[in-house]
Amino acid sequence: MIYLDHNASTPVRPEVADAMNAALRELSANPSSAHREGQRVRAEVERARARVAAFAGAREDEVVFVSGGTEGDHLAIVGCALARRAEGQHVAFAALEHHAVHGAAHLLHELGWTHSELPCDGDGRTIPDAVDALPAGTTVLSVMLANNETGVLQPVAELARRARARGIRVHCDAVQGAGKVRVNVAELGADYVVLSGHKFGGPKGAAALIARRDAPLSPLSRGSAHERGRRGGTENVAGIVGLGLACELAGAELDAQAERIGALRAAFEAGLRSAHPDCVIHGERAERLPNTTNVSFPGARADHLLLALDARGLAASAGAACASGAVEPSPVLAAMNVPRELAIGALRFSLGAATTAAEIEAALAIVTAAVAAARGAGVRA
Catalytic pick among 120, 172, 247, 322: 322
Give CA–CA dist 189/172, Å, rounded: 9
Q: Give yes or no for a contact between 319 and 271, defined as CB atoms under 8 angstroms apart.
A: no
Give CA–CA dist 3/317, Å, rounded: 10
Count the helices and strands in the chain (H runs, E runs).
11, 15
Q: Give yes or no for a contact between 94 and 129, defined as CB atoms under 8 angstroms apart.
A: no
Q: Can 172 be counted among the known catalytic residues?
A: no
Q: Give yes or no for a contact between 204 and 198, defined as CB atoms under 8 angstroms apart.
A: yes
Taking each helix axis as running N to C, give the angle between helix 14-26 and helix 237-275, from 0 to 180 degrees, rounded to the nearest 10. 160
Active-site residues, by number, are: 322
